[in-house]
Structure 1
Amino acid sequence: MAVGLTVATGDTLVRMRLAALRHSLRDQNKVSWIASGAFVGLVLAGGTVWLAVRGDHDVVAVAIAVWMLGWVVGPLFAGGGDETLKPEYFTMLPLPPRALSGGLLAAAMAGVAPVVSLLALLSLAVVGAQLSVVAVLVSVPALLLQLLCFVLASRLAVAIYGVLLQIRSGAVLAALVNAFILAFTAQGWALIAAYITTDVQGAMAQAARIAPSGWGLVAVEAAGRGDWLRVLLALAGLLLLAAVMFVAWSALLVRRTTATRSGVQPRRPLTASDARGAAAGKELRSWTRDLLYGHRAVFAIAYGVFFCLMPIAVGWKGMLPWAGAASVVMAGAMFANLYGADGTAYWSTLMVPGSSRFDIRARQRAFLLVFGPPALLITVLFTWWSGTDTWPVVLSVVPALLGGAAGLVVLASVYAAVPTTDAHKRSGNPLNSGENEGEAMGLVYVMLVLISLTAVPALVVALPAGWWGVPVGLATGVLAWWGFGRLAVARLDARGPELLTLLRHGRTTGDQASVTSLSAKMQLLPKWQRHLAGACLGFGAIPLFPQAVVPAVFKLNDNPAKVWFLALYAPGPWQWPIIVAMACLGLGMYGYGASVYYRASKLKLPAVDSPDADPPGEGAMQPAS
């Protein structure tokens, strides 16, 4: 009976999941994201199979471990993963926890990511084909069980992460783990280079086989040797691991859908005597009591530290002085949607006449108070540790970035607010903040670039003139803090009710039309132009920043490190021409992508007759008789 109910539930939820996927394909933005992710996944899956074809089983073990790691940590950076079917939707149905968990697991298997991972796991079948026919037969249950463990590990990780974010120490721990993983995606080349140039490859391969991600490969290799005891142990281990993770996930789903939130007694009432003090007290309480605020703050600071620490693995300390600056840039990007995070709580501010200026300035002061001291302390300590003579440059850049971030954060929050789930309506998965995750991530990427640009004046002066860049950086930071804040106040005074409507109801039909009209106009252009423009905007930063700006800074500071910068490996006379060429290439890519979108915006959409339109000559309303 229980098995039949689980199968029926799974069938229904799978059909619901596939129907939701079909409907999502009507959104061109989602189609682009899905297509891009599928393409990258297929390339990586093909690379994994190619490693198996080469017969390098040690590298295959490490590659499969990386796949499982991606399943565990990927959803933590993608809004809690795909939760089209949230467990909260089914709380009123008389379903046992195991039946609901089994149905949700079956629905999770119906997607693009599991199919791509299954293709990557075909590398086990390739390894088996190189050993024996029996090994090929063993590879079939091995890769299916491995895929099941991938999906269950992903779901369990998200569930555990949601529990951690409900306690302060757990939120800090999760932030540190996420920061390290994201920094590894950007600076992992240093650790990989250290791995390749040392004798730890064998140890890594052995560790990958011992980990659950390697048990399928162990079973296939053991079948090729005729070691049936190890085959049974490996397959039984995968099956037992899947069962344990399923039971644990089911228990956490029960906790998520049945836990009650008890009221919290205020520890200390607000005792401000004026509007400025009240706004400051309210904002500081948001930073100290909202665990998502604390999580993101720790993440931003830890990311800057990890990002600049990893190159030490290859003996390069040149990134250490920039840890504080990297933390500030990431912090500004993470908090670029303050009013969107507030949601309908903004109503209490809007109803107080003249409160916009106090609220904006309070948010700016809180941002500087939270990130200013850590950024300056990290900058001083790491610059001293690096032993480089970069004091004028970093002490010029950090104040400019702090002021620029404090100004741009509030400006973006009022001009480009993204509606998210209200704090009191958050589900058991705090990572999932609504249906606008893609728009929120786009805002983060834009802010990374804009905040970095605020340091350009200080950098231009500090590189040739040394300490003269410090007053320029201070002036730039103060002007950005004051000017952008003033613009945000004016916008909030003029469009406060519209902002509240957006946060409460989401985008109206007119807003959605303005957002999607550009996408519709882009469809009028040839497909190759659309794809080329997207590629240029997505990858233009690679030649511009790491291959032009950074090596130029190295050249001006006589830094002998070459690392992975192409220009620094060329003969001396050719280094500056290559740097200039890379800068022109990056700017050209951005320029071409922007020009394509600009030309598309000037196009006119063809008129479409609505089937619901009134017949010619007839009004929408007829006079009453």
Structure 2
Amino acid sequence: MALALTYSTSHTLVRMRLAAFRHALKDQFRLSWIVTGGFVGLVLAGGTIWVAARGDNDVLVVVLAVWMLGWVVGPLFAGGGDETLKPEYFTMMPLPPRTLSTGLLVAALAGVAPVISLIALLSLVIAGGNVVAALVAVPALLLQLFCFILASRLAVAVYGVLLQVRAGAVIAAIVNAFILAFTAQGWALIVAFVSTDVQGTLAKGARIAPSGWGLVAVEAAGRGDWLEVLAALAGLVVLGVLMLLAWSALLVRRTTASRAGGKVRRSLSGTDPRSGAAAKELRSWTRDLLYGHKAVFAISYGLFFCMMPLALGWKAMLPWAGPAAVVMAAAMSANLYGADGTALWTTLMTPGANGPDVRARQRAFLLVFGPITLAITLLLTWWSGYASAWPLVLSVLPALLGGAAGLVVASSVYAAVPTTDAHKRSGNPLNSGENEGETMGIVYVMLVLVASTCAPALIVALNVGWWGVPIGVLSGVLAWWYFGRLAIRRLDKKGPELLTLLRHGRSPAEQAKKTAGLDALPKWKRTAAGFCLGFAAIPLFPQAVVPAIFKLTGNDDTRSWFLALYQTGPWQWVVIVLMAALGLSMYAFGGLTYYRAKKRAPGGSVAAVAG
């Protein structure tokens, strides 16, 4: 009876998951994300199979460990992973926790990521070397895939529990920041490890990790060591069962735990609209765990990103930890009004509150991130010992702070994304609604926009030194004032429409209007535009901007993965210019493609479509 119920539940959930996936394919924006992610995943899966074909199992086991790590940490940066079927949807149904968790696990297989991971795990068949090992690889790769998915679901569940308490939210933010910084700067740690000849140690550690048990079973089958084969496969089975039981227990906690209201510790002390709005915003940053999580994440990311090269004894990036934290903080706060949801109603219903509210949000952002990033910048610049970095970072930091404080409020009213209201958040605080792809798109755009606000100050500082500081302060103040003014005007003019969007989301008619111009484009052009917008930052920033800064500041010792710095003489500048032109061309092609498509949409203007 229990087995029949489990089968019936799994079958129904799989059908629901596939139906939701077919619906997602009708949204051109989500489709572009799916296609781009699928393409990148297939490339990585092909690389994994190529490693296996070379016969280097020491490298293969490390690559498989990276795949499992991606399953564990990937959802933490993608809004809690794909939760099309939320456990809360089935709270009122008489389903045992293990039946529900098993059904959700099976339904999770009906997606793009599991298929790509299955392709990558076919490397175990190739790594076997003979027919017997290849036969053992079949159950090994299936068990390995189930462990990948279970590890992902369990990590999200544990992370959700951590975000329910302040200390857990801080710890989770620090861990996330380290992982994300490692994806960009991990090369320094890897080079440091390789230079100390620990490749063999890494391979041994990867074989001990659960991600390597499938390969261990295949290698043992090739040697005829059947006891080790059984031990490795049994280990995967036991691990999967334990993770399933743990996940089931966390699902019960998530769907049954009561959420009592918090006790008011102290009333707001504001005496006028400005001070009242400022007090409210500061309370949001200090009491809302997701706000605090984002703040700790941004600061930690800036520190990790610029301190990882210390593994190689390179201190040149230390002065830039503060500016990097500001850029990341702005990107994480790009949907500030969207995160408020229907709470915007209280502001709109108060006469004359739009201006004080926008300025209060800007001041709160500066109070939260200004002092700490300034302290980090001063301390780490002094530690680095680079005297030439002082005018650069002290010019860039005020420009970035002002630009970030202005763009945060402007982007959140001009490009707000509907999310789940704070009082309706599910047991997975990472999941903020059905528009995670759109939210991530705004985050990427904000990274570029905020970084560009420091360009005038940086150019002046590079050419005339300390004169860049007043330019940075002036540009920061102007950006703070101007973008804040735009946000106030937008709220005064389109406040009710914004509230309707945040409350009900976009109607089918608005969705059709939004994508009408894109639908008329050939698929190859839509895909190419999405690819260009997603990857244009690679040639523009790490391959052009960063090497140019190194050249201008006289740092000729670091090459890393910067292609231009491996050239000689004037060819370095030639490569820098070509990479910058490539990145800008990709941005121009992608941006113009989407802009012209929206202009052709019904309504005749970008403003009509965005509104």
User: Scaled by the length of structure 1, what TM-score is found?
Assistant: 0.93
Residue 274 of structure 1 is matched in structure 2 by: 272
For 2:108 and 2:89, the matched residues in 1 are separated by: 15
For 2:222 and 2:312, the matched residues in 1 are separated by: 39
For 1:26 and 1:591, the matched residues in 2 are separated by: 26
For 1:601 and 1:89, the matched residues in 2 are separated by: 36
- Work out which of the residue numbers 349, 370, 373 in structure 1 matches 2:371: 373
Aligned pair in 2 of structure 1 residues 528, 138: CA closer, same or farther (>3 Å)?
A: closer
- The correspondence of residues 50-89 of structure 1 with structure 2, limited to 5 A, is 50-89=50-89
Q: What amino acid does structure 2 have at the position aligned with 1:48?
A: T
Residue 327 of structure 1 is matched in structure 2 by: 325
Aligned length: 600
Residue 252 of structure 1 is matched in structure 2 by: 250
For 1:144 and 1:529, the matched residues in 2 are separated by: 37
Residue 158 of structure 2 is matched in structure 1 by: 160
Contact 1:403–1:476 (CA<8 Å) still a contact in 2?
A: yes
Residue 562 of structure 1 is matched in structure 2 by: 559
Q: Which runs of 5+ in 2 are unaligned?
A: 603-611
- Tell me the alpha carbon deviations over residues 113-147 of structure 1, each in whole angstroms, 9 at most, x when there is no partner: 1111111111111122x1x4332222222111111
Q: How far does residue 449 in structure 1 lie from its aligned partner after superposition?
A: 0.8
For 1:20 and 1:309, the matched residues in 2 are separated by: 43
- Work out which of the residue numbers 357, 360, 363 in structure 2 matches 1:362: 360
Residue 401 of structure 1 is matched in structure 2 by: 400
Alignment partner of 1:180 is 2:165: no
SS at match of 1:261: coil
Aligned pair in 2 of structure 1 residues 595, 22: CA closer, same or farther (>3 Å)?
A: closer
Contact 2:516–2:601 (CA<8 Å) still a contact in 1?
A: no
Aligned pair in 2 of structure 1 residues 604, 275: CA closer, same or farther (>3 Å)?
A: closer
- Tell me the alpha carbon deviations over residues 392-438 of structure 1, each in whole angstroms, 9 at most, x when there is no partner: 00000001000110011111111111110000000111111011111
Contact 2:36–2:530 (CA<8 Å) still a contact in 1?
A: no
For 1:364 and 1:599, the matched residues in 2 are separated by: 33
Q: What amino acid does structure 2 have at the position aligned with 1:474?
A: V
When structure 1 is superposed on structure 2, of 40-49 and 428-437 the one drifting more is 40-49
- Tell me the alpha carbon deviations over residues 227-253 of structure 1, each in whole angstroms, 9 at most, x when there is no partner: 222222211111111110000000000
- The higher-RCO structure (CA 8 Å, 6+ apart) is 2
Aligned pair in 2 of structure 1 residues 18, 478: CA closer, same or farther (>3 Å)?
A: same
Aligned pair in 2 of structure 1 residues 514, 578: CA closer, same or farther (>3 Å)?
A: same
Q: What amino acid does structure 1 have at the position aligned with 2:384?
A: S
Contact 1:521–1:604 (CA<8 Å) still a contact in 2?
A: no
- Tell me the alpha carbon deviations over residues 298-328 of structure 1, each in whole angstroms, 9 at most, x when there is no partner: 1111111111112223332221111100100
Q: What amino acid does structure 1 have at the position aligned with 2:172?
A: A
Alignment partner of 1:533 is 2:532: no
SS at match of 2:259: coil
Q: What amino acid does structure 2 have at the position aligned with 1:215?
A: W
Residue 521 of structure 2 is matched in structure 1 by: 522
Q: What amino acid does structure 1 have at the position aligned with 2:119?
A: L
Alignment partner of 1:545 is 2:541: yes
When structure 1 is superposed on structure 2, of 245-254 and 509-518 the one drifting more is 509-518
SS at match of 1:5: helix
For 1:578 and 1:156, the matched residues in 2 are separated by: 45
For 2:550 and 2:61, the matched residues in 1 are separated by: 38
Q: How far does residue 478 in structure 1 lie from its aligned partner after superposition?
A: 1.0
Aligned pair in 2 of structure 1 residues 301, 604: CA closer, same or farther (>3 Å)?
A: closer
- Tell me the alpha carbon deviations over residues 253-303 of structure 1, each in whole angstroms, 9 at most, x when there is no partner: 011111111122101112322221211111111111110000011111111
Residue 138 of structure 2 is matched in structure 1 by: 140
Contact 2:327–2:404 (CA<8 Å) still a contact in 1?
A: yes
Residue 605 of structure 2 is matched in structure 1 by: none
Aligned pair in 2 of structure 1 residues 24, 604: CA closer, same or farther (>3 Å)?
A: closer
Residue 383 of structure 1 is matched in structure 2 by: 381
Q: What amino acid does structure 2 have at the position aligned with 1:36?
A: T
Contact 1:522–1:597 (CA<8 Å) still a contact in 2?
A: no
Q: How far does residue 353 in structure 1 lie from its aligned partner after superposition?
A: 0.5
Residue 236 of structure 1 is matched in structure 2 by: 234
Residue 437 of structure 1 is matched in structure 2 by: 436
Q: How far does residue 604 in structure 1 lie from its aligned partner after superposition?
A: 7.0
Aligned pair in 2 of structure 1 residues 118, 162: CA closer, same or farther (>3 Å)?
A: same
Residue 585 of structure 2 is matched in structure 1 by: 588
Q: What amino acid does structure 1 have at the position aligned with 2:115?
A: V
SS at match of 1:572: coil
For the pair shown, the structure with the greater C-alpha radius of gyration is 1
Residue 122 of structure 2 is matched in structure 1 by: 122
- The correspondence of residues 212-227 of structure 1 with structure 2, limited to 5 A, is 212-227=210-225
Q: Which runs of 5+ in 1 are unaligned?
A: 606-625
SS at match of 1:83: coil
Q: What amino acid does structure 1 have at the position aligned with 2:414?
A: Y
Alignment partner of 1:343 is 2:324: no
SS at match of 1:272: coil
Contact 1:182–1:303 (CA<8 Å) still a contact in 2?
A: yes
Q: How far does residue 602 in structure 1 lie from its aligned partner after superposition?
A: 4.9
- The correspondence of residues 430-509 of structure 1 with structure 2, limited to 5 A, is 430-509=429-508
For 1:602 and 1:260, the matched residues in 2 are separated by: 49
Contact 2:32–2:526 (CA<8 Å) still a contact in 1?
A: no
SS at match of 2:60: helix
For 1:85 and 1:331, the matched residues in 2 are separated by: 30
RMSD: 1.6
- Tell me the alpha carbon deviations over residues 201-227 of structure 1, each in whole angstroms, 9 at most, x when there is no partner: 000000000111111111121222222
- Tell me the alpha carbon deviations over residues 145-175 of structure 1, each in whole angstroms, 9 at most, x when there is no partner: 1111111111111111110100011111111
Contact 2:518–2:598 (CA<8 Å) still a contact in 1?
A: no
Contact 1:521–1:601 (CA<8 Å) still a contact in 2?
A: no
User: Scaled by the length of structure 2, what TM-score is found?
Assistant: 0.95
Runs of 4+ residues deviating >6 angstroms = none
Residue 597 of structure 1 is matched in structure 2 by: 594
For 2:600 and 2:278, the matched residues in 1 are separated by: 47
Q: How far does residue 65 in structure 1 lie from its aligned partner after superposition?
A: 0.6
Q: What amino acid does structure 1 have at the position aligned with 2:353?
A: S
SS at match of 1:522: coil
Percent sequence identity over matched residues?
Answer: 73
